[in-house]
């Protein structure tokens, strides 16, 4: 970066022109005298006069555009423009204008370094003469010569260098004013402790701006330059040495009448208050935070995108004196730091590994994508460890946190499903490489049966997510939504990505950003860590404006938010919920073998993602499985401590309907009679997607409770089952039956499924009411009104009885199970009469015999 105000000043008045002409004339005279003197002097010293002219001819021309300084300290600021940390490369330099430098400091340097600075043309002939008589290879340099020495970086002691330095000094003073040269000098001079220039030295030694230095402190800084190592105030001997040097300088200043006697005495006796060297070392020399690490990476990448080489970008950041304005909120960062520096969250419980547990977290403002805080590892940051929060090197599988942006969000936005859509959480076989294998499986390898999309997300069912991906979406659709949310995995077109198992993992920054659209009305913002970078002159070097993409409808975002609220109220995320009444929505994630634990969630204010695990894949122990939730909870509780409670904004395109959670349709009277409890609830829908039909899954049937099938269900009652054993019950009847017996046995709601068999213990042709099994005497024979049907089956032989039973069942299955008892009885009579008529012609003789023996058969015992 170029130093400030280095262009020659142009006079406007005639008086200035005359003065300028006089100066040039004097300069030419002095130059000719210098050449003559040098030629004679060096000739006497044995050096050919031609060599002098050769040195001058080869001397570097220092034009204003070449007067550049390097090693300026850059500064990083938070979102409130408060300075966070200086960035220093090889040099610690702060540029400062001459007008901001105290007069006492300027005079202190002039008094001890070049008392005739404003009188000579760049070289002091008196000092040159002293140098020649002492050997010609050394001598006191003017301030102008010291500027040249620092810019050309030539410090060898030789006659050639000295001659060229004198010559360049004369030319430099023709191009710059005295004040410009003094400004350059005071910004370039080395003052120990890697400080270049008086501003950085003032901050380092006295922790104050240079404009606030006292006279005593000015003399201290001016004294260091003669021998920085010897006069270093941060060394024990150096502090004693510089005090003596200070007194000498103050004496010269008094001698030159820069200060009065009283000012001299006051400065001599002033008790100097040096800055804390240890604090300065920690703040300036050692570690950057994880956040600043990411800022530097982002700025460097953007500079390279603007045409810088990697080295140029690095040098600009650490030596260019730039100002980087970040998105960091120090209060939010402090809340996060307090948790991550607390060892209680990271106590080692895993005896199977020597590694400590790690964690990382990111918090984003969803309204603009500004990253407010991040932390990249457990405990104190030492050196330059892996930034697990945002490094592109971090690729951890996200587990079930991916179900929201890959499955549920796209499917609802595409109007393929609603929150009420019912999907059968039952065994499926979606592994393309092995269709006989159940895949995917839920985490606990259990199946809940008919369940809504809302409940499946709340409980994080893999089967339902897999079926939505397979039956309602396509990979192109799902992965396009993910790409628009900042994660490009368009080549990973397989089911496992829907369950959180992509080949390429992600980091917490990417995951938090992917949830920004749900928290921000469907709008995604690319996460940014800085807003602008200014060069040392205040010009905009980089401007980082928010970049947004519409991912979901506002109504979709609201419905997903409402679903994710349930996760934290009654689902897998209850351990992450913090108190205080602030609405919260979120999703848990666990990867195979418990290698990773995630929690990503948001409030109306912020989105945050937390990862917990080990750097090398190691199973997380049961006692530490809730730590990702716990870290998220405690950090977000601190962040929201003083924020006003506000609600997620409801979209006007949302409608509410009372539905059944077993059909997803409008609730019927039977839905409230489900034996598990009412399945009626109020659900929200995008207008136009709400159900129009009434539940057809709940049905009522008369069953016999005397016996149950292998699944624990009662059998359908036949008319012969005794009233004491029969009752009406409500069941669910799947639209798509589970035909595989082992699969049906695996579902948790099988006991509530409509039974498909009739009671095998009571004869299907026995009288319907109050008739004991196989015609045994009834306990209520006086009120028995079914004598007309007694022993109706006796005419059948065993084979015919079996055939008749099959015939009966075939017809019974087609009857309406909701018919009244009388209608059912009439149907059964009709069926039996039909059978009688069918056999009547061939069995007339047998019928006559039956009639004759009727009384006898009544008293007969039945098997």
Q: What is the pLDDT of residue 856?
A: 41
pLDDT band at 148 (very low <50, low <70, confident <90, very high): confident
Report field, pTM of the whole predicted structure over 0.85: no
Query: Same structural domain for residues 429 and 568?
Result: yes
pLDDT at 196 over 80: yes
When pLDDT is cut at 50, 70 and 90, the band that residue 674 belongs to is very high
How sure is the predictor about 770, in pLDDT bands with cuts at 50, 70 and 90?
A: very low
The string of pLDDT tens digits covering residues 337-367 is 999 999 999 988 777 888 899 999 999 999 9
Give a yes or no: residue 371 inside a domain. Answer: no
Work out the average pLDDT over 185-200. Answer: 90
| DSSP H helices in 405-498 | 409-413, 453-459, 462-471, 475-484
Do 662 and 707 lie in a common domain? no
pLDDT on residue 284: 42
Q: How far is CA 114 from the centre of its chain?
A: 57
CB atoms within 10 A of CB 847: 12
How high is the pLDDT of residue 283?
41
Q: Looking at residue 275, which CATH number applies to its domain?
A: 1.10.3810.10
Rounded percentage of the chain residues whose pLDDT exceeds 90: 63
Q: Which of 247, 263, 283 is the last residue of a domain?
A: 283
Strand partners, 716: 703, 758
- 635 and 709 in a single domain? The answer is no
Q: Do 671 and 590 lie in a common domain?
A: no
Same-domain status, 429 and 578: yes
pLDDT at 324: 98
The CATH number of the domain holding residue 464 is 3.40.710.10
Query: Average pLDDT, stretch 801-810?
Result: 40
Of 305-319, 554-568, 762-776, the least confident: 762-776
Give pLDDT tens digits for 206-218: 999 999 999 999 9
Last residue of a domain, one of 239, 258, 283: 283
Query: What is the H or E stretch that residue 590 is in?
Result: strand 585-590
Query: For this structure, is 113 an active site residue?
Result: yes
Tell whether the torsion through CA atoms of 759, 763, 766 and 771 is positive or negative. Answer: negative
pLDDT of residue 636: 99
Q: Where are the alpha helices (DSSP H) in 399-521?
A: 403, 409-413, 453-459, 462-471, 475-484, 508-514, 516-519
Containing 25, the helix (H) or strand (E) segment is: helix 14-44
User: Of the listed 3, 390, 400, 485, which one is catalytic?
Assistant: 400
Position 45 pLDDT exceeds 60: no
Decide: residue 406, CB within 10 A, 0-12 exposed, 13-18 middle, 19+ buried. Answer: buried
User: In this predicted structure, what is the pLDDT of residue 748?
Assistant: 96
761 touches 706 (CB < 8 A): yes
Cβ proximity of 729 and 701 under 8 Å: yes
pLDDT at residue 807, as a whole number: 37
pLDDT classification of 125: cutoffs 50, 70, 90: confident
Question: Is pLDDT at 231 greater than 90 in this prediction?
Answer: yes
Q: Are 207 and 275 in contact (CB under 8 A)?
A: yes
Least confident of 399-403, 533-537, 644-648: 533-537
Q: What is the pLDDT of residue 814?
A: 35
Per-residue pLDDT at 826: 44
The owner of tokens 């810088």 is 308
User: Worst-scoring range by mean pLDDT, 135-149, 235-249, 267-281?
Assistant: 135-149
Q: Which two tokens stand for residue 441?
A: 């499986």
Ranked by mean pLDDT, the top range of 50-64, 138-152, 684-698 is 684-698
Nearest to 117, CA basis, from 142, 152, 153:
142
- Whether cis (ω within 30° of 0) applies to the bond prior to 7 is no
Indicate whether 455 pLDDT > 90.
Answer: yes
Same domain, 779 and 661: no
pLDDT at 351: 79
Range of the domain at 672: 654-686
Continuous segment of H or E residues that includes residue 727: strand 726-732
| pLDDT of 829 higher than 50 | no
Which of 31-40, 118-127, 215-224 is predicted with the least confidence, judged by mean pLDDT?
Answer: 31-40
The reported pLDDT for the residue numbered 94 is 82
* Closest C-alpha to 197, from 182, 217, 207: 182
Q: What is the mean pLDDT of the chain?
A: 83
Q: Residue 857 pLDDT more than 60?
A: no
CA 845/CA 679 separation, integer angstroms: 58
What total number of domains does the chain contain?
A: 4
pLDDT at 760: 87
The CB-side HSE value for 435 (13 A sphere, CA atoms) comes to 1
Give the pLDDT mean for 656-669. Answer: 98
Residue 157 lies in a domain: yes
Residue 372 DSSP SS3: strand
Residue 99: count other Cβ atoms within 10 Å of its Cβ. Answer: 9
pLDDT digits (tens, 9 = 90+) for 503-520: 999 999 999 999 999 999
10 located within any domain: no
Is the pLDDT score of 773 beyond 60?
A: no
Sheet-wide strand order for 698-708? 714-716, 698-708, 726-732
Which ranges in 749-861 belong to alpha helices (H)?
Answer: 798-812, 821-840, 844-852, 854-858
pLDDT category at 143 given cuts 50, 70, 90 is: confident
158-162, 396-400, 778-782: least confidently modelled range: 778-782
Q: Retrieve residue 654's tokens.
A: 């949302």
838 and 712 inside one domain = yes
Sign of CA dihedral 95, 98, 104, 110: positive
**Percent of the chain, pLDDT > 70?**
76
Distance of CA 143 to the CA centre of its chain: 53
Do 219 and 243 contact (CB within 8 A), yes or no?
Answer: no
668 in catalytic set: no
656 within 8 A of 683, measured Cβ to Cβ: yes
For the segment 740-761, the average pLDDT, to the nearest whole number, is 94
532 domain residue, yes or no: no
Residue 680 vs residue 13, higher pLDDT: 680
Task: Flag whether pLDDT at 779 surpasses 60.
Answer: no
Greater model confidence, 643 or 777? 643
Determine, yes or no, domain membership for 356: no
Q: What is the 3-state secondary structure (H, E, C) of 282-293?
A: HHHHCCCCHHHH
pLDDT over threshold 90, residue 149: no
Dist CA 668 CA 57 (whole Å): 104
Query: How far, in Å, CA of 65 to CA of 67, rounded?
Result: 6
Q: Is 704 found in the same domain as 673?
A: no
Contacts of 316 (CB under 8 A, 6+ apart): 303, 308, 322, 541
pLDDT band at 860 (very low <50, low <70, confident <90, very high): very low
- The residue among 283, 307, 324 that closes a domain is 283
Q: Is pLDDT at 132 greater than 80 in this prediction?
A: no
The answer to whether residues 760 and 677 belong to one domain is: no
Give residue 85's pLDDT: 93
Q: What is the largest CA-CA distance in the chain?
A: 166
Within a domain: 311: no
pLDDT band at 285 (very low <50, low <70, confident <90, very high): very low
Q: How confident is the model over 278-307, as a mean pLDDT?
A: 80
Q: Which of 3, 74, 113, 554 is catalytic?
A: 113
Give a yes or no: residue 353 inside a domain.
Answer: no
d(CA 851, CA 863): 21
Q: Does any domain span residue 116?
A: yes
Q: Are both 500 and 607 inside the same structural domain?
A: yes
Instruction: State whether 599 and 502 are in the same domain.
Output: yes
Please compute Rg for the chain using Cα positions.
45
User: Higher pLDDT residue, 767 or 534?
Assistant: 534
CB atoms inside a 10 Å sphere around CB 636: 31
Task: Using the predicted structure, report yes or no on whether residue 470 has a pLDDT greater than 70.
Answer: yes
Same-domain pairing of 411 and 460: yes
Q: Which of 42-51, 176-185, 395-404, 552-561 has the lowest mean pLDDT?
A: 42-51
- By the 8 A CB rule, do 465 and 612 touch? no
Give me the sheet containing 370-375, strands edge to edge: 370-375, 358-365, 607-613, 596-602, 585-590
Nearest residue to 246 via CA among 204, 276, 205: 205
């Amino acid at each position: 970066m170029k130093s400030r105000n280095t262009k020659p000043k142009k006079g406007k008045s005639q008086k200035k022109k005359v003065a300028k002409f006089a100066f040039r004339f004097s300069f030419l005279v002095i130059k000719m005298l210098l050449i003559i003197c040098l030629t004679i002097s060096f000739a006497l010293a044995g050096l050919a006069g031609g060599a002098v002219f050769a040195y001058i001819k080869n001397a570097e021309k220092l034009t204003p555009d070449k007067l550049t300084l390097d090693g300026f300290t850059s500064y990083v600021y938070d979102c409130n423009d408060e300075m966070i940390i200086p960035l220093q490369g090889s040099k610690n330099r702060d540029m400062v204008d001459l007008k901001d430098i105290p007069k006492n400091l300027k005079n202190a340097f002039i008094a001890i370094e070049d008392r005739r600075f404003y009188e000579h043309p760049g070289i002091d002939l008196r000092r040159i003469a002293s140098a020649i008589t002492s050997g010609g290879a050394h001598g006191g340099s003017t301030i102008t010569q010291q500027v040249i020495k620092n810019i050309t970086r030539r410090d060898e002691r030789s006659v050639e260098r000295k001659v060229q330095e004198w010559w360049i000094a004369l030319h430099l003073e023709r191009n710059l004013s005295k004040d410009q040269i003094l400004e350059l000098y005071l910004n370039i001079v080395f003052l120990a402790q890697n400080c270049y220039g008086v501003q950085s030295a003032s901050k380092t030694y006295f922790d104050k701006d240079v404009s606030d230095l006292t006279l005593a402190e000015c003399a201290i800084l001016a004294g260091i330059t003669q021998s920085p190592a010897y006069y270093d105030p941060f060394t024990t001997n150096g502090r004693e040495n510089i005090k003596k040097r200070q007194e000498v300088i103050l004496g010269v200043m008094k001698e030159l009448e820069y200060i009065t006697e009283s000012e001299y005495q006051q400065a001599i006796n002033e008790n100097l208050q040096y800055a804390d060297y240890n604090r300065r070392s920690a703040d300036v020399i050692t570690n950057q935070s994880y956040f600043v690490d990411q800022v530097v990476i982002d700025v460097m990448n953007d500079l390279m995108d603007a045409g810088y080489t990697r080295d140029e970008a690095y040098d600009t950041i650490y030596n260019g004196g730039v100002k980087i304005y970040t998105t960091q909120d120090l209060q939010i960062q402090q809340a996060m730091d307090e948790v991550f520096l607390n060892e209680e969250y990271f106590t080692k419980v895993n005896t199977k590994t020597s590694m400590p547990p790690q964690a990382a977290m990111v918090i984003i403002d969803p309204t603009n994508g500004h990253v407010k805080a991040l932390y990249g590892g457990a405990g104190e940051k030492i050196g330059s460890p892996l930034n697990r929060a945002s490094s592109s090197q971090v690729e951890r599988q996200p587990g079930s946190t991916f179900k929201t942006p890959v499955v549920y969000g796209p499917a609802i936005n595409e109007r393929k499903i609603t929150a009420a859509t019912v999907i059968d959480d039952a065994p499926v076989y979606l592994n393309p490489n092995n269709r006989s294998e159940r895949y995917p499986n839920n985490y606990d390898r259990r199946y809940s049966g008919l369940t809504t999309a809302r409940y499946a997300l709340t409980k994080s069912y893999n089967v339902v997510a897999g079926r939505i991906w397979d039956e309602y979406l396509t990979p192109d659709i799902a992965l396009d939504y993910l790409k628009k949310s900042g994660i490009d995995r368009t080549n990973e077109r397989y089911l496992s990505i829907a369950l959180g198992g992509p080949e390429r993992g992600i980091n917490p920054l990417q995951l938090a950003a992917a949830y920004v659209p749900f928290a921000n009305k469907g709008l995604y913002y690319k996460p940014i860590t800085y807003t602008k970078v200014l060069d040392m002159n205040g010009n905009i070097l980089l401007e980082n404006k928010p970049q947004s993409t519409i991912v979901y409808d506002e109504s979709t975002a609201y419905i997903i938010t409402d679903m994710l609220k349930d996760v934290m109220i009654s689902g897998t995320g209850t351990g992450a919920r913090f108190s205080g009444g602030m609405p919260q929505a979120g999703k848990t994630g666990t990867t195979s073998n418990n290698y990773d634990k995630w929690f990503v969630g948001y409030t109306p204010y912020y989105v945050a993602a937390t990862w917990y695990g080990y750097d090398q894949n190691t199973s997380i122990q049961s006692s530490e499985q809730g730590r990702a939730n716990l870290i998220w909870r405690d950090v977000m509780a601190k962040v929201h401590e003083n924020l006003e409670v506000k609600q997620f904004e409801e979209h006007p395109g949302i409608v509410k309907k009372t539905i059944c959670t077993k059909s997803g349709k409008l609730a019927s009277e039977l839905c409230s009679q489900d034996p598990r409890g009412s399945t009626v609830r109020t659900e929200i829908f995008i207008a136009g997607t709400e159900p129009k039909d009434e539940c057809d899954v709940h049905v009522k049937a008369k069953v016999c409770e005397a016996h149950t099938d292998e699944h624990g269900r009662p059998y359908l009652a036949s008319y012969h089952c005794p009233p004491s054993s029969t009752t009406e019950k409500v069941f669910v009847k799947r639209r798509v039956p589970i035909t595989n017996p082992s699969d049906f046995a695996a579902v948790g709601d099988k006991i509530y499924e409509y039974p498909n068999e009739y009671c095998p213990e009571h004869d299907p042709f026995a009288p319907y009411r109050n008739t004991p099994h196989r015609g045994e005497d009834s306990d209520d024979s006086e009120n028995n009104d079914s004598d007309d049907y007694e022993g109706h089956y006796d005419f059948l032989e065993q084979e015919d009885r079996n055939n008749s039973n099959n015939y009966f069942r075939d017809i019974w299955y087609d009857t309406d199970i909701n018919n009244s008892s009388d209608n059912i009885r009439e149907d059964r009579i009709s069926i039996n009469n039909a059978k009688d008529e069918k056999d009547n012609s061939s069995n007339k003789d047998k019928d006559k015999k039956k009639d004759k023996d009727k009384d006898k058969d009544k008293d007969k015992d039945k098997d």
